[in-house]
Each structure stands twice: as structure tokens, then as C-alpha cells.
Amino acid sequence: MYTELKSYQMIIALLKKYNIRHCVLSAGSRNVPFVHSIEEDTFFKCYSVVDERSAGYFALGLAQELNEPVVISCTSSTATCNYWPPVAEAFYQNVPLIVLTSDRNPAMLGQWEDQMIDQVGMYDRHVKKSVNLPIIKDEEDEYYCERLINEALLELDHHGKGPVHINVPMKAYNNSFNVKNLPEVKKIDRICIEDDENIWNEKLQKLMNAKRIMVVCGQNSYVSDKLREEINKFLNKYNTIISIEHMSNINAENGINLDVGMDTRFITNKKMEELLPDIVISFGGNVFGGVKEELRKFYGKFEHWLIQEDGRVVDLFKSITNVFECTPEYFFEKANKINENGSNDKIYYTKIKEYIDNIKYPNFEFSHVYAIKEVVERIPSNSLLHLSINDSIRITNFFKLNKDVRVYANIGTHGIDGCLSSFLGQAIATDDSAYLIIGDLAYFYDMNATRLRHIKNNVHILLINNEGGSEFYFNRMWKNEASDLHTTARHHTKAQGWVESNNFEYLSANDKKSLEKALERFFSKDNEKPVFLEVFTEMKKDSDTIYDFFDISRPRDLKSETIRKSKELIKKTIGQEKAQQIAKKLKLK
């Protein structure tokens, strides 16, 4: 029988998955849930050493002789400090120890709680990895706890061996052992270039047998010709679709931009389940919007294979099973070689393609969507395009770009600051035409960059001035007129005076006719100055334009429509916050 404490249940289950069985235990109250649970489990070999310092050194010698990791476990407070000398010794001798320190309720730290010190990260630079587990209250905490334990155990032998630290807080003593079975847990595998060929072959064989593979390409600032070549081969050899948003900068043959079709405001859960992949392979940086959010809803129902050159665990979709520590070029080339005669049956590809092709594009009214469409579809090949944030990225992904337009955005942190400055730094480094699409709040935040002396004539800036943060209308954070002051930061500022005083050619538009006229000059090849186009639209209308676009061809089914109408009725009647609580209880989400 096992402890009721879920965090220790998950530790025990994952120790089994990693085949770690030797545990050196020191007496105490806080670690009783762990100690008694493994005492009763014949998988584990337990050793009792009361003094924690001696226990640590005992475990070090045991691990050296066995040539495998050993667990040490103690109670809280100064007991954990006694591990310091052996942990340091293990670090410098490259000996794999799992240091399990039990801890008290984090809320009581510094409140004169008995037997409590700050144990988070206490071994500092003398462990390869240190994690502090959450006190588990719900599924989100379980997922997070499972991932953290995996991350710690994966570091035991990652580029050299050494100790890792797992701190386990709990709200109160627990000596109840009435759990018969440990929870199902997921072990994350890390596959490195130097690993045995059989390990690679086993993984790639599974890939060859898969019917639904989705390759998700995140943000890439540089894409080699080799990577493009190998991805195109992969698309032809495996039953796969390749999801490419503009910032991936991958011009894959038959690549599909899923950003519209899998936006959480567009696709129903039923349709998403129909299109769900068996395996997701991802690489590159952050992924914007749709695919990421939708796949997270179905975590655990597919495998996620991450290609990450430094081997870090980046669980973008909450379903990570494998980390391939190599370059994307290496992974796809290896996969292509092992499946030399493979062929994509195109069944999954066709299913996704038909769904995406059913999206209807209206004749947009004058709005930020219309203005951005008219610009992005005219940007010449081999140009540079920088997208400021949110709406600029979202809307640009609605439309096709000409071939070999390089696309960038500051979505590493997703802040509005510095978009203009980053773009100008890029534009200085190229003689190609360079374009920026930016909203008013982001522009005025960084407007000082407009006066930089290095700005060249290849610069073209489209400013969407809808007098505030339209994103807050789009994500429905706008509540009332007060929101326009404190949330959307509504304003009546224009850029013209500042822009012209800094030697830009200034253009403006406030309807389709004036925009068309301005664009003739905006895309002129004989500009003697950098060009700045300010387009005036309105926040609320801009937001509605996107939702109207989604609504035209959103997949419908009776259940989803009933749910949607029920949610809207509840929100209107009792307010959004209470509606969310009720919706959760009724499983309307």
C-alpha cells in the first residue's frame, strides 16, 4: 500500500520507470510517506542510515560500485543541510544521486514554523538539476509534477553524471497508506546522437508505422537549405503533414498553415479530435496561437517528439514523450535514410488539406485585417518582414506571402516593447526591402527608434492606428468604458508629426480608396526616404471583423452549437467570471 500524497506516488512510479531501485533512508517524520511506501514495495532495495551526512556518503559509495543512481531521502530543515558535503563530493566525482528532501508548506516559510528552512535550490551549483514540486491540487499540478520529476531524473547522466535534487513540500504530516496502485506516469526519453543505433531504430520504426504524423515548425530565424531539403523528403516518405506558420521560414512543399483552421475560436473540439495526430514532431522556437492551444486540450492522447539541440525538455503541448538531442537536419536526414523506400499515403494530409481549403475568405470591409492583407500579399519575394505582436502575427498568417519572404517577430517573450528597434536593426543588416507591421501601442512604446540615424531607404512601416490595444477587444478582456482608459489605453495620438520630423515619407489612409492610393507609393521602387504608412481603423470593428471571418466557415455540430449558445446566455445573464465557474462544472468548456 502506498501513501496518499500524490507527489510521492509519482516519484515512486517514475523511479520504477527509470529502473532506480536502491534507496538510502534517514529517520524522520516528513519523509515517512516515501519511506513506508517503498519499504512495502519489493522492487526497491532499502538501506537505513540515521545520520544524513553518513547516509549521503554511504549512497555515494554504493552508486560508485553499482554504477547506477542511488536515492537518498530525509526529513525537512537541518537534516537536508547534512547532505551538503556528500552532495558536493558526488558533484565533483560525477556520481548520480537523487536527493529527495521533504519539506513543509511553502506558505509557512519565514513564519517561525517548526523545523522549516528555505530548501528550494539549496544545493545551488553542486547539483545538475534542482526542482521544487508543487503541492498537487488538480490535473494541472499533476502534469507539472510529472514533468519536473522527469526533468530531474533525465539529468542524472546528461553529458556526464552527477546528483540531482527533488524538493517535496507538503501541507501536513501524512501517515495514511491506503492506495493500492501507483498512478500511471509518463517517462520522457532523451535520445542523443551518440546513443546506440538500436535506440534510434526503435523510435524511427514507430514513426514508419504511424498513420498520422504532424510536424510543427516553430519560429526560426535561420533555415538551412539542408533542412528544407530533408523536410521535403520526409513529407514524401512518411504519413505526415507539415504545419508551417510564416515565422517558421520553412518553404516546405505542400506545407499547410494551420493558424486559422486550428484557432481555438474557430475549430470545435469534435473536429479537432477528428484531425488529431498520433505523433507530433516539433522543432524551432515558439509557436504562435492555434495549433499549440488546441493540441494542449488533448494532452496525453498523442506523442510529442521534440527536436531540441541542447536536449532541454520543452513540453509545448503537455504530451512530450521523447527529446531528440540533435539538429533538425540530423533528425530528418536519419529518418529519411532508414525509410529509404517509404511513401506518404496522403490520407492524413488530404483530410487536413480538405478541412483547411473549406475556410471561406470574404471580401473584408475596411479594417486592420483588410489593410494587412493588402500589404502582406504585395510584399515582394526575398524581402524581410517583421511582425510586431499578436494581431500583426495572427492576421498575417491568414494570408499567403510571396516566396522567400523572411519573417520575424519578438515572440520569445511576447512583449510589445522593442518591435520597431529590432526591425530597424534587421533592416540595417540587409539591402533587401524590409517591412514592419505594427500596432499603435507597440509603435508609440518604441517610437524613439524612429529617430535613429542609421535608417535606410529600404524601410517600409505599416502602422495600424486603431486608437488603442485592440487585442483586449479580441480576447474579450474589454468590460466597459473604463476598460478603454485602463486596459485598451484608448488614445487619439497620430504619428505624422514625429515621423515627418525624422525624415520619413509619411502616408496615411482611412478607407479602401485612400489605402489603395497610398500603397502605390508605399511599394514604389524609387523611394528616396524610408516610408511610413499610418492606417486609421477602429478597435471594436477590427475585433469583430476577425470573429466574423471565423464565423463564416466554423465547423458546426448540434452539440457544439448548443454549448456555445448556452455559454453566451450564461455570460450575458450572470457575468463572465461566474459563467466560467458554472461552465467548468457543467463541462461546457
**Distance from C-alpha of 344 to C-alpha of 236, rounded to nearest angstrom:** 5
156-185 confidence digits (pLDDT tens): 999 999 999 999 999 888 888 999 999 999
268-296 confidence digits (pLDDT tens): 889 999 999 999 999 998 888 778 889 99
- For the cut 70, the answer to whether the pLDDT of residue 582 exceeds it is no
Is 34 in the same domain as 151?
A: yes
181 assigned to some structural domain: no
Is 311 in the same domain as 406?
A: no
Is 261 in the same domain as 289?
A: yes
- For the cut 50, the answer to whether the pLDDT of residue 589 exceeds it is no
443 assigned to some structural domain: yes
- For the cut 50, the answer to whether the pLDDT of residue 588 exceeds it is no
Chain centre to alpha carbon of residue 329:
21
Quick one: average pLDDT of 426-449? 95
26 assigned to some structural domain: yes
Beta bridge partners of 528: none
Tell me which of 357, 387, 418 is where a domain ends: 357
178-226 confidence digits (pLDDT tens): 999 999 999 999 999 999 999 999 999 999 999 999 999 999 888 999 9
182 assigned to some structural domain: no
Percent of the chain with pLDDT over 90: 73
What pLDDT, on the 0 to 100 scale, is given for residue 61? 98
Residues found in the chain: 589
Is 118 in the same domain as 259?
A: no
- For the cut 60, the answer to whether the pLDDT of residue 577 exceeds it is no
Question: Cα dist. 108→102, 113, 332 in Å?
Answer: 14, 6, 50
**Distance from C-alpha of 434 to C-alpha of 430, rounded to nearest angstrom:** 8
Is 153 in the same domain as 255?
A: no
Domain containing residue 409: CATH number: 3.40.50.970
Is 340 in the same domain as 434?
A: no
What pLDDT, on the 0 to 100 scale, is given for residue 563? 54
Q: Which residue has the higher pLDDT, 342 or 115?
A: 342
258 assigned to some structural domain: yes
Is 129 in the same domain as 30?
A: yes
The dihedral formed by the CA atoms of 258, 264, 268 and 273, expressed in degrees to the nearest 10: 60
**What is the Cα Rg of the chain in Å?**
28
Pairing relationship of beta strands 213-217 and 240-244 according to DSSP bridges? parallel
Quote the mean pLDDT of the chain: 91
Q: Which residues contact 453 (CB under 8 A, 6 or more apart)?
A: none
What pLDDT, on the 0 to 100 scale, is given for residue 253? 79
Count CB atoms within 10 A of the CB of residue 412: 9
Place of cell 524601410: 459
**Distance from C-alpha of 306 to C-alpha of 191, rounded to nearest angstrom:** 10
Q: Which of 119-133, 338-352, 514-528, 537-551 has the least mean pLDDT?
A: 537-551
The confidence band for 124, taking pLDDT boundaries of 50, 70 and 90, is: very high
Number of independent structural domains in the chain: 4
What pLDDT, on the 0 to 100 scale, is given for residue 390? 84
What strand order describes the sheet that includes 459-465?
406-408, 384-387, 434-439, 459-465, 531-536, 505-509
221-269 confidence digits (pLDDT tens): 889 999 999 999 999 999 999 998 898 998 887 889 888 888 877 888 8
- For the cut 60, the answer to whether the pLDDT of residue 522 exceeds it is yes
Which of 309, 341, 311 shows the shortest CA–CA distance to 326? 309
Q: Which of 16-25, 83-92, 251-260, 315-324 has the least mean pLDDT?
A: 251-260
Question: Cα dist. 93→18, 163, 308, 417, 489 in Å?
Answer: 22, 10, 28, 45, 57
Is 570 in the same domain as 500?
A: no
Is 278 in the same domain as 375?
A: no
Tell me which of 357, 382, 410 is where a domain ends: 357
Is 515 in the same domain as 385?
A: yes
Is 21 in the same domain as 154?
A: yes
- For the cut 60, the answer to whether the pLDDT of residue 558 exceeds it is no
Domain containing residue 344: CATH number: 3.40.50.1220
362 assigned to some structural domain: no
444 assigned to some structural domain: yes
Quick one: average pLDDT of 571-583? 59
Domain region containing 578: 556-589
183 assigned to some structural domain: no
Is 80 in the same domain as 141?
A: yes
The confidence band for 583, taking pLDDT boundaries of 50, 70 and 90, is: low
Quick one: average pLDDT of 341-353? 96
Question: Cα dist. 183→16, 224, 395 in Å?
Answer: 12, 43, 43
Tell me the DSSP string of 211-247. Answer: S-EEEEE---S---HHHHHHHHHHHHHSSEEEEE-GG
Pairing relationship of beta strands 320-325 and 189-192 according to DSSP bridges? parallel
